[in-house]
Structure 1
Amino acid sequence: MKLKLNIDELTDDFFTDTRLLGITATVKNYQFCWQLNHMLGYSFRLNPEIEIHLRRKERSYFFPVYQHEVKNSFLNHYLYHNHFDGEYLLPEFRHMDFLWLMKGDFVDEESCKQMVQTIKSISGVQMVAELTNEKIRNKGHLVF
């Protein structure tokens, strides 16, 4: 008997109760995290265990993921760097430098709006937009 992993189902489960922001910014990822931590009181840290590895054209690409766990909550924030060495984690959003995934608990509209406003106020941030699941063609690339 052969068992087949249903990737679409796995991906759908991963994205249940999530919100995703796309961010265009002219700052390095470590500087951006520092500013987020400073302005929001977060503690984004690089999590090498969930780094995304993609293989394209016989080359390996590594996309770092920063993580912040909300105390006394199931909510986690993940900040992906969208490009590495000329490749994109989500090619459909090449103009986005960072992808911010909120996962594990419900994030209400008001909290999300306040977060977007704070991110927009960071020096070097040019754009912040919420990305809906329907617009994301390569959702599986964000699953760790």
Structure 2
Amino acid sequence: MKLKLNIDELTEDFFTDTRLLGITATIKNYQFCWQLNHMLGYSFRLNPEIEIHLRKKERSYYFPVYQHEVRNSFLNHYLYRNHCDGEYLLPEFRHMDFLWLIKGDCIEEEHCRQMIQSIKSIGGVQMVAELTNEKIKNKGHLIF
């Protein structure tokens, strides 16, 4: 008997109660995280256990993931670097430098708008936009 992993179902489960922001910024990941932590009160830390590894054209690409856990809640924030050596985690969003996944609990619309405004206030950030699930073609690349 063979068991087959249902990737579509796995992906759908992973993206339940999530929101995804795309961020265009001219700063390095560690500088961006430092600013998020110091200016906006987050505690993003690099989590090597959930780093995304993609293999394309006989090469390996590693996309770092930074994590912030909200105390006394199921809510987690994950910040992905969208590019590595000319490859993209989500090629359909090549113009985005970072992808911010909010997962684990429902986020109110107003809270999301306030977050976007706060992120936009950081030096080096050029654009922040919410990415809808329908527009994401390579959702599986975000699953750790």
* TM-score scaled by length of structure 1: 0.99
**Cα RMSD for the two superposed structures:** 0.4
- 1:106 alignment partner in structure 2: 106
- 2:126 alignment partner in structure 1: 126
- 1:30 alignment partner in structure 2: 30
Q: Deviations over 1:38-61 (max 9, x none)?
A: 122110000000000000000000
| Counterpart residue type for residue 102 of structure 2 | M
**What CA distance in whole angstroms lies between the structure 1 residues aligned with 2:71 and 2:41?**
12
2:83 corresponds to 1:83:
yes
**What CA distance in whole angstroms lies between the structure 2 residues aligned with 1:123 and 1:39?**
11
| Counterpart residue type for residue 57 of structure 2 | K
**What CA distance in whole angstroms lies between the structure 1 residues aligned with 2:121 and 2:134?**
28
- 2:6 alignment partner in structure 1: 6
Contact kept, 8 Å, 1:22 with 1:100, in 2: the verdict is: yes
Q: Percent identity?
A: 88
- 1:61 alignment partner in structure 2: 61
**What CA distance in whole angstroms lies between the structure 2 residues aligned with 1:133 and 1:25?**
22
Name the SS of the counterpart of 1:5 in structure 2: coil
**What CA distance in whole angstroms lies between the structure 2 residues aligned with 1:34 and 1:28?**
10
Name the SS of the counterpart of 2:129 in structure 1: strand
Name the SS of the counterpart of 2:126 in structure 1: strand
* TM-score scaled by length of structure 2: 0.99
Gap regions ≥5 residues in structure 1: none
- Equivalent pairs counted in the alignment come to 144
Q: Deviations over 1:4-57 (max 9, x none)?
A: 000010000000000000000000000000000112211000000000000000
Name the SS of the counterpart of 2:106 in structure 1: coil
Shift of 1:66: 0.1
Q: Deviations over 1:71-120 (max 9, x none)?
A: 00000000000000110000000000000000001111011000000000
Gap regions ≥5 residues in structure 2: none
Name the SS of the counterpart of 1:2 in structure 2: coil
**What CA distance in whole angstroms lies between the structure 1 residues aligned with 2:27 and 2:89?**
18
